[in-house]
């Protein structure tokens, strides 16, 4: 009977949810392109200077053109040949951008520095020293490209494909810099 109780207790502890920090994000590209997503990692990682793809337990993105979904990608789809390079600052809730691809100021979410390796039916995002942009169907979507140093932040608030709402209220310096884009 004690063995059964101990095994039941162990099973309950193993099945218990792990506390995880989760943040939403929305990216505004050029020409009506945008992206929403979610990043999650264990709460204990919140004290780190930088979160990498090794720390992340949940990561999903959805790409849009004029608010119509055009592609998705999740870290669960990554394989040995997938570009999966992520840097996130949990202190400022920002994804560092503007550096050479593969450095601590770049991103590669199913898209390499040339933005051409997302697969024939795939979708990906890249931020390097040339631009922030999309990969769709194995090709660079040049029209989506924006300045590589454009701030890219996350929030606990809900986000939508237009990147509107409460999320932008915390980005006044971005608004003042004219970084909010029109979908027309």
Instruction: Give the tens place of pLDDT for each residue, 129-174.
Output: 999 999 999 999 999 999 999 999 999 999 999 998 655 544 444 4
CA torsion 79→82→83→87, rounded to 10°?
-20
Is residue 184 assigned to a domain? no
Expressed as residue numbers, the domain containing 65 is 18-176
Mean pLDDT of the chain: 85
What is the rounded average pLDDT of the residues 95-124? 93
Instruction: Give the tens place of pLDDT for each residue, 38-68.
Output: 999 999 999 999 999 999 999 999 999 999 9
Is residue 163 assigned to a domain? yes
Instruction: Quote the pTM value.
Output: 0.81
Q: Does an H or E element contain 172, and which?
A: helix 172-176
Domain count, the chain: 1
Is residue 5 assigned to a domain? no
Locate 126 and state its tokens. Answer: 């890249």
């Amino acid at each position: 009977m004690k063995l059964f109780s101990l095994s039941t207790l162990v099973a309950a502890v193993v099945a218990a949810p792990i506390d995880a920090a989760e943040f939403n994000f929305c990216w505004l590209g050029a020409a009506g392109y945008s992206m929403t997503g979610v990043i999650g990692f264990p709460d204990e990682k919140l004290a780190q200077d930088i979160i990498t793809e090794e720390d992340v337990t949940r990561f999903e993105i959805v790409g849009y053109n004029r608010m119509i979904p055009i592609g998705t990608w999740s870290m669960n789809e990554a394989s040995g040949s997938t570009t999966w390079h992520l840097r996130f600052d949990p202190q400022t809730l920002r994804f560092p951008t503007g550096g050479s691809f593969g450095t601590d100021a770049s991103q590669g979410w199913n898209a390499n520095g040339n933005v051409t390796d997302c697969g024939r039916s795939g979708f990906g995002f890249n931020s390097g020293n040339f631009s922030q942009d999309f990969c769709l169907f194995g090709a660079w979507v040049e029209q989506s490209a924006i300045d590589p140093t454009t701030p890219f932040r996350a929030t606990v608030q809900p986000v939508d494909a237009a990147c509107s709402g409460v999320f932008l209220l915390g980005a006044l310096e971005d608004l003042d810099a004219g970084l909010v884009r029109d979908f027309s």
